[in-house]
Amino acid sequence: MRITRIVERSVPLRTGLSNARSDFSQMTTTVVAVVSDVIREGKPLVGYAFNSFGRYACGEQIRDRIAPRILAAKPDSLLDATGSNFDPLAVMACGQHRERRGGYAERCIPMGTVDVAVWDLVAKIAEQPLHRLLADRYNGGAVQARVSTYVGGGWYFPGQTADDLKAEMERHRSAGYRMVKMKVGGLSVAEDCKRIEAILSVMGDGANLAVDASCSFDHEAALEYAKAIAPYRLRWYEEPCDSLEYRTWSALAQAYGGPLATGENMACALELDHFLTYAGFRADRDIIQIDPPLAFGITEYLKVLDVAQKHGFSRRSMYPHGGNLMCLHLAGGLGLGACESYPDTFGIFSGFNDEVAIADGHARLPESPGIGFERQPGLYAVMRELVA
């Protein structure tokens, strides 16, 4: 049993949306296929993944460093103790062979994307949906069949009016969603508060709305926004500043009573460990949003859970960033708080697959083996081309 090929391709996101700091017009993502020599129904089994949203493609490192190491390894060294499946931990160690400690952000995304594709392959070989495999190995077998989900919406776009925002929220509500996250920080505090009020007029209670400032504030502006939004009692206040600005986070944790959220820009579990040690995050309310393909994959996410637990955070505090099937399986199989969703934002990468029904703010887990990209037609057409 061996991995025979690792293939990647850059795909443009093609969206006109913006958050507070940048438009997404130039953004790309990398789609990866990890091909095995395990034959099912006459064809080799293949694991797939892509590297989340709002970042850039990462193919060079996969081509030049990670894939050659894995393909050159002795095949048996990448197998688990049974010899009947691949061991994602062994593949990770091999992919990171000869890399130094530190500088993790340089390689967390290419390695994370390959790692998630390896987990897809492992679950397919085991003939299980990924959430079931993860639950059996790391959650005492418990799966949450319906996962709490929320829409990453309320973006900025040119010419947007309050009515546009309300119409978007009506659309999400009629699709079965009950909570959304919106972008803030791209306009003045007063203008953003008007946007918040427009959205709340449809979504109802402040607990149904989170705001995401996409790291756009300095220390003073972060605190000023905190003061302005406090009366709305929102679900959470996400990334007012860079996650490395511990002084600002600590001040916010003192000044702002509502939940804070961050993590999508962290590279690894060690970075989260430092953050939770020094940034004043509160285990009884704050939210951790590390995104597996952006942070050394599912293999590293298991360490992330250990770090969070060490600091008193339960799995319900974990909301993996990136609305896609990869995070949905993690949330369902590991008992996490919720999964994001981008139902119509990112072209072929939008939404989940055709097995996932949304109702009353929850997503039903897919039952196809692996992650189930095969039942997300637009995206699977691109993935399948990789190995054609």
**Which residues in this chain contact Mg ion in the complex, by CB under 5 A?**
212
Nearer to Mg ion, 3 or 295 (CB): 295
Extract the tokens encoding 373.
Answer: 């990209």
Identify the residue whose tokens are 């953004």: 27
Residue 305 amino acid letter: L
Nearer to Mg ion, 67 or 266 (CB): 266
Phi and psi, residue 32, nearest 5°: -125, 140
- Report in angstroms how near the CB of residue 153 gets to Mg ion at its nearest: 12
**What whole-number distance in Å separates Cα of residue 30 and Cα of residue 113?**
8
Residue 355 amino acid letter: E
- Report in angstroms how near the CB of residue 32 gets to Mg ion at its nearest: 23
- Report in angstroms how near the CB of residue 321 gets to Mg ion at its nearest: 6
- Report in angstroms how near the CB of residue 215 gets to Mg ion at its nearest: 8
Cβ-contact 224, 240 below 8 angstroms: no
Give catalytic residues, as residue numbers: 183, 321
- Report in angstroms how near the CB of residue 181 gets to Mg ion at its nearest: 8
Cβ-contact 299, 89 below 8 angstroms: yes
| DSSP-assigned letters across all residues of 79-124 | B-TTSSSB-HHHHHHHHTTTPPSS-GGGTHHHHHHHHHHHHHHHHH
Residue 269, C-beta contacts closer than 8 angstroms, at least 6 positions apart = 300, 303, 304, 306, 307
Q: Which of 336, 380, 341, 333 is nearest to 358 (CA)?
A: 341
Nearer to Mg ion, 73 or 165 (CB): 165
Nearer to Mg ion, 240 or 370 (CB): 240
What Cα–Cα distance (Å) separates residue 80 from each residue in 117, 129, 294, 299, 367?
Answer: 17, 19, 25, 14, 24
Cβ-contact 34, 2 below 8 angstroms: no
Extract the tokens encoding 148.
Answer: 């709490």
Nearer to Mg ion, 212 or 271 (CB): 212
- Report in angstroms how near the CB of residue 177 gets to Mg ion at its nearest: 17
Identify the three-state secondary structure at position 198: helix
Nearer to Mg ion, 182 or 348 (CB): 182
Closest residue to bound Mg ion by CB: 212
